[in-house]
Structure 1
Amino acid sequence: MDQRGLRKSGRQILAAAALGAAVLAAPPSGAQTREELAEARALFQEGVALSAANNCAAALARFHAVASVRRTPQVLFNIAECEERLGRLVSALGNYRIAAAAAEGDPRAKDVTANVGARIEGLELRIPKLAIRRGQGALTATILLDGSALGAAQMSADIPVDPGPHVVSARIGDREVVRETVTLEEGDAKTVEVAITEPPTAPAAVASPRDAAPPAAGPRPPPARPSRVPGLVVLGASVASGAVGGVFLGLRAGTLSDLDALCGGDTSCPPSARPTADRGRLYTGVAEVAIGLGVVGVAAGIALLVTSSGPAPAAPRAGGAAIRRAAGEGAGRAAVVLQAPGADLAGLSVAGSF
């Protein structure tokens, strides 16, 4: 604004201040008390002074306070003028129009009527226009301008906006799919087409606790392998038992030799041979028991080792026939028979006569 414009604006401010003071000084209506009107006149004078000092933000606060007590055409005109100087052109245009309608036919608002028309015409040329149109994929989207949703009437016409940046966005449900910033200068006219390229996504279904899958169980720990110690102990004891059986088999063989010598090479033995025969029966019984326990223990020990360390070859099977062969080998004329009928000690009997 040049110096001439400043002088002209100053004269208008002073004229409005004088007229506003005169209006506020009018007899009070039933809605306001004298104290309220006196305070409103003081605030109006402060607003005029602040506006003349180019502190429009503070002046605007004073004028709004006055309007809450008495909304005269002069107060509305000053509010619109402050908003115009602050760049709030759209709001200023609205207040100028309200001031013009309030001043119509009011003899005390002739100054407002004389000036408000030119202000309205000037602002209509300066206010930028923004047209927002729906493009591809935006037919059902919610379109927003600076965070406010636009209706069908606003989407079909040019929207007056203040100069500066403005945000055009689109939402599908609660999700923002388009956001664009448009900057306009005074007198600009722009068109923004909102197009949505990504397909809308259906809202995720909320699973109820009843439908929720149970938490996946963690892997079970592998079962502990049985200890090999019992198998080794049983196997060792069985080998020892077999060794004892072998010792007694050796003693048995010596006894058979002695018995053969006493019996003279036939089946008739003298009474003196009975202790030797009894000893032979004892050795045979002990050997049979020890070897039998050893064989059974070896099988059990191998079975325990197999179950604790994996598959293993089957334990060798040994039958009574092998024992009988081992016991019978090298027998002399005096026949010592295992499991003979009428055996009296561990299945051992001596065939002969005493």
Structure 2
Amino acid sequence: MHVGGLRRSSKHVAGAAALLAALAAAPRSSAQTREELDQARALFQEAVALSAANNCAAALAKFQAVARVRRTPQVLFNIAECEERLGKLVSALGNYRLAAAAAEGDPKAKDVTANVGARIESLEQRTPKLAIRRGEGALTATILLDGFELGAQEMSADIPVDPGTHVITARVGDREAARETVTVAERDTKTVEVAIDEPPPAGTPPPADAPPPAAPVEAPAPAARPSKVPGFVVLGAGIASGAVGGVFLVLRGGTLRELDTLCGGDTRCPPSAKPTADRGRLYTGVAEAAIGLGVVGVATGIVLLATSGGGPSDAPKAAARDARGEGAAPRRSAGGSGPRADLLLQAPGADVAGLSVTGRF
């Protein structure tokens, strides 16, 4: 281990000497002043020392600072070597190739030309590769590898990646639709198929072999409820007719008393009482007719109100009640249970012109 470390240090020292010579011989330009070149030489010496101490991360930063001043084949080679030791195989492979291209035909970069070919060949074999393909549902999705979108050419070839863990995502619009994490080691080659398991968007036609959707079963519409207005109208008319009948009953009673006075309580009445008797007969007929209509109207109105507005399920019940005689109010005779008086045009024992009043209690 100690001998190998000495050999590696000697290589770095030789490389540093070659680079310093290249920097010293480099022609000046307006972008590179003597001060900048002196700073680049100092940074390079510090980077070589850090690399020899196996502090590749710090050495890489200084080599990259030198490259911003002067990108010589030696600087590119040292950057690639640091990246290789840090496990950044993809970037190291790219910088080795840049160093080889820069050293071609340069007599001052013979050391780079002598070593870079073997480094490139070794890294090409060690660098793992990922083959990312579109699967079901991902034909139009945006595919990203470690946060970077992949183009069509990358999706059709094997992608060199650094050893370690990588994240593959698929996006539909601004939404992440799929995510997969894959770990690769050196020399691995893996294929990842990105699939999106989601329902089709709205408006997508069903498959050709899909059965037609079942027609919705519509519930039968409920029967329209009859209005309560006719019931109220008939009931009101019945009450009004009964009231009219009551008025004529009162008038009839007055007529009966007037006839009693004219006839003197006898069954025979003078001819002068005939208009009063006629009026009494009119009042009696009107009262009986009005009260009869009133009773019928009230009963009918109650039935109509009972069978309306209660919903379809209540109609059969109301009909059953009507059939049993429970839906209507009991009827009373037109004359009621009170006293009743009758006017007779001819009573027994009276003459043709006489009137007779009969009463019942």
CA distance in 2, matches of 1:138, 1:263: 114
Residues 331, 178 of structure 1: alpha-carbon distance in 2 compared, 3 angstrom cutoff: closer
Aligned equivalent of 1:310: 307
Aligned equivalent of 1:209: none
Residues 69, 243 of structure 1: alpha-carbon distance in 2 compared, 3 angstrom cutoff: same
CA distance in 2, matches of 1:186, 1:290: 119
Aligned equivalent of 1:12: 11
Residues 183, 245 of structure 1: alpha-carbon distance in 2 compared, 3 angstrom cutoff: same
Contact map agreement 1:60 1:79 (CA 8 A) in 2: yes
Q: How many Å apart are 1:76 and its aligned residue?
A: 0.5
Gaps in structure 2 of 5+ consecutive residues: 205-223, 309-317, 356-361
Residues 38, 291 of structure 1: alpha-carbon distance in 2 compared, 3 angstrom cutoff: farther
Aligned equivalent of 1:149: 150
Aligned equivalent of 2:210: none
Aligned equivalent of 2:344: 332
What letter is aligned with 1:310?
A: T
Structure 1 window deviating more from structure 2 (63-72 vs 232-241): it is 232-241
CA distance in 1, matches of 2:300, 2:58: 102
Gaps in structure 1 of 5+ consecutive residues: 207-221, 317-321, 336-350
- Root mean square deviation, CA, Å: 5.1
CA distance in 1, matches of 2:46, 2:288: 127
User: What TM-score, normalized by structure 2, do the two folds share?
Assistant: 0.60
CA distance in 1, matches of 2:114, 2:137: 47
CA distance in 2, matches of 1:225, 1:15: 112
Contact map agreement 2:239 2:297 (CA 8 A) in 1: no
CA distance in 2, matches of 1:233, 1:296: 12
Aligned equivalent of 1:66: 66
What letter is aligned with 1:9?
A: R
Q: Secondary structure in 1 aligned to 2:110?
A: helix
Contact map agreement 1:51 1:82 (CA 8 A) in 2: yes
Structure 1 window deviating more from structure 2 (75-84 vs 42-51): it is 42-51
Give aligned-pair identity as a percent: 48
Aligned equivalent of 2:312: none
Alignment of 1:1-354 (within 5 A): 2-34=1-33, 35-130=35-130, 146=145, 148-149=149-150, 151=152, 155=156, 159-167=159-167, 181-188=181-188, 190-192=189-191, 194=193, 204-205=202-203, 235-236=238-239, 238-246=241-249, 249=252, 259=263, 262=266, 264=268, 270=270, 273-274=272-273, 277-298=274-295, 301=298, 305=302, 308-310=305-307, 330-334=342-346, 352=353
Contact map agreement 1:74 1:109 (CA 8 A) in 2: yes
Contact map agreement 1:141 1:170 (CA 8 A) in 2: no
Q: Secondary structure in 1 aligned to 2:29?
A: coil
Aligned equivalent of 1:212: none
CA distance in 2, matches of 1:262, 1:41: 161
Q: How many residues are paired up?
A: 305
Q: How many Å apart are 1:193 and its aligned residue?
A: 6.8
Q: Secondary structure in 1 aligned to 2:183?
A: strand
Q: How many Å apart are 1:292 and its aligned residue?
A: 4.6
Q: Secondary structure in 2 aligned to 1:192?
A: strand
User: What TM-score, normalized by structure 1, do the two folds share?
Assistant: 0.61
Residues 305, 98 of structure 1: alpha-carbon distance in 2 compared, 3 angstrom cutoff: same
